[in-house]
Chain A
């Protein structure tokens, strides 16, 4: 089946630095990818929709200058958390739509900002 590979699985960074998270579709082309954030014991919240070759669409309340999304190819989308702060510590998950009603998810990235 369609697989999305997400890296790194965890990262610790210092406050003020930037962190890049990669999401690759391994055996299919992902025109659209989605980025979610999940805080402890809460559900996945959609941050943005990433479209290959165009600008991402951000959800209300998500700072596009802080969470930079690049979807330069049909197999790679990246999320860069810029000038990270402790409140950005969370679990970030990417997802790709593989069919009209089918989605596959990455394994997630645990970001800890110290």
Chain B
């Protein structure tokens, strides 16, 4: 079956360091992959999209890589700040015909001041 896996354990880092989150998927070849931020009690907020023919995408302090051979995406936040503390979700359109996104379980990031 198709699966999206993220490290379910919380990631704790010091302010100023780079946070790296991982998203692995199986049994599928997506045309693109998306990353979202979710704060407690709120809906997901779109951050970045990377397509299958792109290796890397950047937006301000965010960087996403996409390795279609490894079936993995890495999400980096450089110069992390306490305000970056949130849960980060990766999502794919698993081509189920419904055109809805399927989400990973998310990784909670805690940036310590």
Known: A107-B42, A107-B43, A108-B42. A46 touches B98 (CB 8 A): yes
B41 within 8 A of A: yes
- Whether A43 pairs with B100 at a CB distance below 8 angstroms is no
**Contact mask B43-59 → A, CB, 8 Å, 1/0?**
11110010000000000
Choose from B49, B93, B105 the contact partner of A42 (Cβ within 8 Å).
B105
B residues less than 8 Å from A110 (CB atoms): 41
Q: Specify which of B31, B32, B98, B106 is in contact with A43 (CB 8 Å cutoff).
A: B106
**Contacting pair A104 B46 (CB below 8 A):** yes
| Contact, CB under 8 Å: B45 / A105 | yes
**Within 8 Å of chain B (Cβ to Cβ): is A101?**
yes
CA distance A42 to B101 in the complex (A): 15
Chain A 78-114 interface mask (CB, 8 Å, partner B; 1/0): 0000000000000101010100011111111010000
Given contacts A34-B100, A101-B32, A101-B93, contact A43 B43 (CB under 8 A): no
Min CB gap B64→A, angstroms: 14
Q: Which residues between 11 and 53 of chain B lie within 8 Å of chain A, taking CB atoms?
A: 31-32, 34, 36, 41-46, 49
Q: How many A-B residue pairs have CB under 8 A?
A: 52
Contact B106 A106 (CB under 8 A): no
**Chain A min CB distance to B42 (Å):** 6
Does any Cβ of A come within 8 Å of B102's Cβ? yes
Interface pair A108/B100, CB less than 8 Å apart: no
Chain A residues within 8 Å of B44, by CB: 44, 93, 105
Q: Are A91 and B41 in contact (CB under 8 A)?
A: yes
State whether B43 touches A49 (Cβ < 8 A): no
Minimal beta-carbon separation of A67 from chain B (angstroms): 15
- Alpha-carbon distance A46/B44, docked complex (angstroms): 14
